[in-house]
Every structure is written in structure tokens, then in C-alpha cells.
Structure 1
Amino acid sequence: MDGRTTARRPLAQLLVDSVAPSAARGLAPLESISLELLADAAQDHRVLPAVAKHVSGRPDCPEAWRAPLRRARDEQVVRHLGVLAELSRLGAVLDGADVPWVVGKGPTAAALWPAPDMREYYDLDLYVPRAMFRRAVGALEDGGCTGEDRNWPLMATSRRAEYAMRGPLGVHLDLHWDVAVPRGTRRTYRTDPDAMIGRRRAVDLGGGRTAPTFDPVDTVLVLAFHAAQCGAGRLMWLVDVARAVEACGAARAGIGARARAMRMEAPVGLVLDRAARVLGDLGETGLRRRGALGAATAALDARHGFPDLPGDRHRAGRLYSSARPRAWGTAAALVRDAVADRRIERAIRRGVPGADEKALRHDVPDPAARADYFRFVDSGAG
């Protein structure tokens, strides 16, 4: 563990103890922590099942905590089994339609943890080749899936590389044709989803179930890139990345080269840096130093600590989500994202329809807009 992280607040230290236990340091005391605050912080970082496992196994765990902690872990077991059942069904549908696919994050990230029920997750992310996206959607709809993104004019104008659906067993599904979802992000990076799907390998998800997922290096890139786009603010994402790097073995030295080929080195490197600061050294990954942006994120973590707790206001997530291959691009993204956030906030305050983050879920049926979206996907345009 990096010496800079040893002065964490007890609750923050307890969260880290739960996901990266180490006999080399003392455990955070429980007597100064309330169960309510512990649950709020753990849920915020999506590590409540891991915290439940860790705390309930300690001799100083208050007896009154044991039942709710056990319930939290049992709920994740139920979710995990439900996702695996849905995945088996939907995978068979795509196989029957002759559509290559992989599953990312969710159950495959959980498989990296010591026990899959330690990682909190609720949905499925499936990736298919762009050229087969329309076929995949049709097959899944015929197989019982329904669309959750129903604002087709917004889908047609935003050109997102993701379509939210609901599986026949009720599990939320995000069907992707690129790992970079917003159109502007795809123009910045050089993702190659078809090559990534072509490198897929089967992984054991537990209970005798296997599924295709990205190869070890691509898994690191997908997890780290997603974490960066979301601000790298959840402890769960850092654990995912650290365990994915570990699973690469000797291949971890090639992470940097592939990240550079996709122009992802800046966001991926920042996330790996934060994971190393919080969880310990990740070894040689072939990533270069992150310059001023890396120094800024490291300084903020040294000043405020990580993980953040409910009520903290210093996550610096925009530094991660705005990271671009060049410094001028990062600066432009920081300004652009700040302006966009303020515009959305003003629109929400004024009650503008569709201004909130769930605008895609608003039911705006428009067959022409739907057709336009799929024509765009089929075209292969940027």
C-alpha cells in the first residue's frame, strides 16, 4: 500500500480494507462508524457486498449489524444469478442469429473478484459488431427484449453507440456497437470494437457458466476507459481495474501500447494511477507519465484522500472524464463539459422537457427517426 494513503478517515479506510485486505496494516475501527453511514458510503462506491463480507467476518462486528449485512450480500447473490440466467438466454439468441458478441463489465468484472457476489452490479453490457447491430436488435426483440431508450428523435440526433433494452427476465441490458458511446468521444479516440470482439475469449462466470468477453488487455482498457468517462469516483471501478491488470500477468506490459494505439493512454493512465494510489502498485503496464493532469489528480488525492464519503465535494471527476490525447484537447473538454453541465442544470430548473439525464427514456415514438438511427449505424460513419 502506498504510504500516502495511510491517513484515511476510519470509514474510508474500512471501505478499502473490505476490497483490498492486508495483514501489514491495522484494520479501521468500527466503534466510531454508524451502520447507516457505512451502508450509504458502501453503496455510493458499489462495494456494499464486499463490505458486508469483510465486516461480518470481524470479531468486533456489532451483532445488530450482522442480519442487514448478510441481507445485502444475499441480494447481490440473487442479482448475480438473475443476470447469469438472462445472459444465458440472450447469448443463445445472438448465437442463433449468428451475431458475434461479448459481455463486458458486470458479471465478467465480478469474476475478477475473490467472490463474484462481492461486486455490486445490476445490468448487462453486451457488445456486437457495428455491421450486425441492426440484426442483433431484431433478434433480441424477437427473443423477448423491449427497448428502454424510446426517445427516437434524440437517439437519431445523438448517434449514441448504445441502445438500452430490458431482457425477458427483467434485467437491464445495454447493447453496444462501440466502447466509446457518445459520438464526440468516438471522434476523439481510435477504438476498434470489431478487432476487440475478434480477440474475445471465454471466461468462467461461476456455477459452470462461461461467456465470451474481451481479452485480458482489452478488459483493462474497457474497464479503465469506462471508469474515466464516469469520473473514476467509485472504489468498485478501481478494484475492477486493479484485478484486471493483475489477471493480465506478463501481458500487462502491453497495456500501454494498445492504449496508445486507441489514443486512450491519458484517461486509462489516470485511472490506473488512482487505482495504484488507493490499492497498491499495479506493476509495469507500459503507460507513460501523465504530465500536469496526472500531477493534478495525484495532488487532489493526496490533499483530500480517496475514497470520498457522502457529503464530500472534491471528487475531481471532470479531470478524468475530460482527459484527452493532447493537453489542448483536455482543456477544451474541461470548458465544454462545464458549460454543458451548467446548460443542463438551467434547463432542468426551468422544467424543460427532456433536459434530465433520463431524456432517452421518454417515450417519443417516431418510426422515421428510428429508421434514421439504424441507417446511420449501418453506414459506418463517425
Structure 2
Amino acid sequence: MLTLRCWQNGGGDLKQRKKGLWRRVVWAIHHNSRAWNDIPVKVSVAGPWKNMYSIWQPFLVANIDLKSAFSVAVGDGKNTCFWLDSWVESIPLYLKFPELFNEEAVKDCLVQDRWSSSDLGLGSAGTRSELGPTAANQLQQLQLSLSNRVGYVGADCWKWRYDDSGVFNVADIKCILSSINRTRPINVFEWNNWVPKKVGIVAWRAEMEKLPTKCALASRNVPVLNQMCVLCGDYAETCDHIFVSCCFAQLIWQILAGWCRIPPIFAFGIKDLLTLHASSSGSRSKRKVIHAVILVAFWSIWKSRNDAIFRQVVPNVTRSIDEIKSLAYLWVKNRSKVVALTWEDWNRFNLDLTWEDWNRFNLDAML
């Protein structure tokens, strides 16, 4: 999308400010005198303009042709090329009337030089007096097309074809692209806005086995002297082991299950832990709290692992549980904006009354 934003700005300069410095630089470098593309590019010349132009081909899959995506509402005709710009139809006139264009003496002439909305005529100052039969026939067709057009008052105005307002924005392109050949992934990670993004990222990467564990580093040819888990020392360190099968993590999950008043946790994979809240009893808000606690536990376990490796801190279950409870309380209380949530209720996980009052307050506010 950054490339598309640059294309919007760069392509807009080519269309709207034909005397601008950016347009003259691109035209001088990429224009081919033997071709008349309105947006020129030389694939042999590397640089930002080539990268910006390269998105044209993939967009054709979504039926978006950036070459004809902009059209112009002609006013005074001072900023629109008669043959090279799309103003009569969706394609430039030089493509629709090639024989007549060959007879044109000034290829980059402006609309004001060739067409007048007052007499609906086609000027002949730049065309040869004697035309061949094909060119003469195309001239008649062109005059017929122009006779049905009415000029606007004011300056020429460029418009984006794929939006009714005529204004280009990246959000519309994203909406169009999202509806083309979009496949929903099998596993969709559920984010929780009651904890910081950095906390959710740890669980998100762990589910994909993308954390830099010892086994993951070794698979990338990073020299690792000892691949055993630093928390238990019994098995090789992988994401599944650290967060699921490690005795350190299992003890944390069982303590949290007792604190959150849910059945004992028996997980066979990381996904079982991340979807545990969905099958829990209670209100929607309480399930979201449980989900937040689980994400904080992921973050705390990974932090304990890093502390043990890089700071030689001995892992301690009690310290990790206290950290999970305190950090989860601060984040949930402040991010959910539940002022009535006290540390005493949180420490006993007595949230039913608190969340019922909060939900009732929100319902009264909506009414």
C-alpha cells in the first residue's frame, strides 16, 4: 500500500502538473520517442518509479487497470493532452484512432489546441491536410464522438474511476482487493485490546512456532550449544514445550485455573490454551478477562525464559504468578476502564458483580 500511495502521488503529478519537476524528470528518463504511453516506464532503468509502476500488473487480477483508472473532466483543456490522456473514453484517443494519430504533427498537443466546446469542432492546425481513407474515416468517428460532449466551466479535473466521488484513497483499493480471491486462514488469532499489543504478539508468534527458541535458532543454522529447555532442563526447547508440556508452564496453568475458578487445564497444544476462554462459563466480559490472563501468562513465561538465559535468573513459579496477577490487573483495569475493579476482588477473582454493574452502566448509557 505504500507503493500504491507513492503511485498515487507520482501518477497524480504526471497527470495534473505536466510542467512540474517530478513529471519532467520521469518523462525525461522513461519516455520513449517511439511509443506514446501516457505513463511511461523503461524496465531497464531501476529506481523508485519502476517499483511504483510494477504494481500495475498484479492489480489487473482485481480488474483494476491503473493505466485507465483516472479520467479527466475537461474544462479549459489546458491540462489535458488531446491524444495521450483519457478524456473522451476510458482509453486515450491515440489507441482508438491510431491511423489518425499517425497523421498528427504535434503528438502531445492539448485539448484546447484541437477541440472547442463552443463550436464542437476539431481543429486541423496540427493534422495534415490530405488524409488516407482509414484516417479520414477515423476523423469522422472522432468528430462524431466529440459532438456529443459538452465542456465544463473551469480548469480540467482528474477523477478516480473506481469511486463515485472521483477521489482516490488507499482504503478503497484495499476493500476491492480484499474481495478478490481472498481465502480465510484455518486458524485466526484472537487479539485482546485489554492487554498491550506486545503481550499478544508473544502468543501469536508462539502459535506459529516463530519465537526464537533454541530449536528454532538451530534450524536456522544459528550455533546453539545446548538445545535443552532452560526452565526444566529435560526436553528440547520449542514453543510447544515451553508453553504447554514444560513442568514449569504446567504448574503455572494449574495455579491460574484454580485462581480463575475454571476446570483444570489439560492442553495438548498452544491452540488449546488460546481458545480456553471460549468454553469457559460466565459473561462475555469475564471470558475476555480469562483470555487476557492467558495472554499475560504467555508473556510472563517467555520473559522468565529470557531472564534465565540472559540474566541467569532462577525461574520461580510464585514470582511468575504474582507478576501475571499484578500486570493483568493493571492492564485490564485501565484498558477496560472499569473503575470499580478493586485489587481485593481481582485477587479472589470475584468479578461477577463488578462486571454485571459495569455492563448495566453501559446499557443505561446506551439507552
TM-score for the superposition, normalised by structure 1: 0.21
Higher Cα Rg: structure 1 or 2? 2
Between 1 and 2, higher relative CO (CA 8 Å, sep ≥ 6) is seen in 1
Q: Give the number of the structure whose residues are more often helix, by fraction.
A: 1
TM-score for the superposition, normalised by structure 2: 0.22
Q: Give the number of the structure whose residues are more often strand, by fraction.
A: 1
